[in-house]
């Protein structure tokens, strides 16, 4: 019987997030104030009192979700005993703090740089993502591969029957039409600012690579199952390499949860805002427990 801690990615933010944590826990308050200093602006003001629109700015969204997740994990104290960890996209950075691969401060700096680099890449090219429902993963991949004059790839393997594609706006639009014609229940363009986890993020990957390589990665206290290959590792060099590749590679969440369950995870604890990952876990692995921290 093993416990897996999982950490959400972009899209889980909401106005007022982590306010109770800040007000009721001295450790949380101290960590949030340290984050305000590191970031150079009071992100807590936006998290606790900002509008949905203000929270949607990438430079705010990613650090906000990261902070909520990591600080909540820190306040769990001795009850936080992970056998394994994983995070969805941005959540992988939270997971790497939770298993002590990265320090809180170093990871926050990387998350902030990642958010700004991704924002820049989004502005450089008209790109988007779309959710494809009710179609086999292999069929979605096959249809995307027929579009050779544009960029469109599988980006998030969220759960069986739910795959997100990513690429140039024209490429994703073409793919949606083909997917619906081939029998997908839905192929719905998402309200996102760009093509995350696709070749469109290459400029951001290059920018982040230098920062990741300059950061100290330690041997973790438990394995992390990484997005790029869905496999467990405790090797700091491999973790670093996979984290660099993550920006342009797909998030293999379905495969990650399948592998964690196969390796003995019976209890999944989602740490951070929202309950998105709990829902996905239940669709991927029946018979496991999935709760909020």
CATH number, residue 63:
3.40.366.10
On whether residue 14 sits in a domain, the answer given is yes
194 in any annotated domain = no
Residue 39, sorted as left (phi over 0), alpha (psi -120 to 50) or beta, turns out to be alpha
Task: Point out the catalytic residue in the list 68, 88, 127, 197.
Answer: 197
Interval 70-127: pLDDT, tens: 999 999 999 999 999 999 999 999 999 999 999 999 999 999 999 999 999 999 999 9
Q: Is the pLDDT of residue 257 over 90?
A: yes
116 found inside a domain: yes
Indicate the pTM of the whole model: 0.96
- Considering the domain architecture, whether residues 111 and 63 belong to the same structural domain is answered as yes
Within its chain, how far is the Cα of 208 from the centroid?
16
Stretch 214-228: mean pLDDT, rounded? 98
**What local confidence, expressed as pLDDT, does residue 52 receive?**
92
- C-alpha span between 44 and 50 (Å, rounded): 9
Q: Is 138 domain-assigned?
A: yes
Is 176 in the same domain as 212?
no
- From 12, 69, 89, 198, active-site residue: 89
Q: Tokens in use for 277?
A: 């990952």
pLDDT of 200 > 90? The answer is yes
Q: How confident is the model at residue 59 (pLDDT cuts 50, 70, 90)?
A: confident
The C-alpha atoms of residue 62 and residue 205 are separated, in whole angstroms, by 16
40, 175: one domain: no
Q: Which band of pLDDT confidence, cut at 50, 70 and 90, is reported for residue 172?
A: very high
**84 occurs within a structural domain:** yes
Among 189, 219, 234, give the residue marking a domain's end.
189
Average pLDDT on 185-212 reads 94
Which structure tokens are listed for 198? 């696709």
Among residues 160, 189, 218, which one ends one of the domains? 189
- CATH number, domain containing residue 175: 3.30.70.250
Residue 22: pLDDT band with limits 50, 70, 90: very high
Q: 275 and 154, same structural domain?
A: no
Q: Of the candidates 168, 189, 210, which is a domain's last residue?
A: 189
Is 68 annotated as catalytic?
no
Give the count of domains, the chain: 2
- Model pLDDT, residue 229: 98
In this structure, are 108 and 227 located in the same domain?
yes
Q: Is 12 helix (H, G, I), strand (E, B) or coil?
A: coil
Confidence of residue 181 (pLDDT cuts 50, 70, 90): very high
Confidence of residue 57 (pLDDT cuts 50, 70, 90): confident
Domain range for residue 239?
2-123+199-292
pLDDT beyond 90 at 238: yes
Q: Contact at 8 Å (CB) between 156 and 163?
A: yes
* Known catalytic residue at 88: no
Residue 237, pLDDT above cutoff 90? yes
* Whether 227 contacts 92, CB under 8 Å: yes
pLDDT for residue 136 is more than 90: yes
- The closest alpha carbon to 181, from 131, 129, 143, 127, belongs to 143
């Amino acid at each position: 019987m093993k416990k897996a801690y999982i950490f959400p990615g972009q899209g889980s933010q909401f106005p007022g997030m982590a306010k109770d944590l800040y007000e009721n826990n001295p450790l949380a308050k101290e960590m949030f104030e340290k984050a305000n200093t590191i970031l150079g602006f009071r992100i807590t003001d936006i998290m606790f009192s900002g509008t949905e629109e203000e929270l949607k700015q990438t430079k705010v969204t990613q650090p906000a979700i990261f902070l909520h997740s990591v600080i909540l994990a820190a306040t769990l104290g001795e009850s936080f005993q992970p056998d394994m960890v994983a995070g969805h996209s941005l959540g992988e950075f939270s997971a790497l703090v939770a298993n002590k691969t990265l320090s809180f401060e170093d990871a926050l700096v990387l998350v902030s740089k990642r958010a700004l680099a991704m924002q820049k890449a989004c502005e450089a090219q008209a790109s988007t993502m779309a959710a494809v429902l009710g179609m086999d993963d292999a069929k979605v991949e096959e249809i995307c591969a027929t579009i050779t004059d544009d960029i469109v790839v599988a980006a998030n393997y969220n759960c069986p029957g739910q795959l997100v594609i990513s690429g140039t706006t024209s490429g994703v639009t073409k793919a949606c039409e083909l997917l619906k014609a081939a029998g997908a229940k839905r192929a719905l363009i998402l309200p996102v600012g760009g093509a995350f986890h696709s070749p469109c993020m290459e400029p951001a990957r290059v920018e982040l690579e230098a920062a990741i390589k300059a950061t100290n990665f330690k041997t973790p206290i438990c394995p992390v199952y990484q997005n790029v290959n869905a496999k467990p590792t405790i090797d700091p060099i491999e973790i670093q390499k996979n984290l660099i590749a993550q920006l342009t590679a797909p998030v293999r969440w379905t495969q990650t949860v399948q592998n964690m369950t196969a390796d003995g995870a019976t209890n999944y604890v989602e740490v951070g805002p929202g309950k998105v990952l709990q829902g996905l876990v239940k669709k991927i692995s029946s018979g496991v427990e999935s709760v909020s921290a």
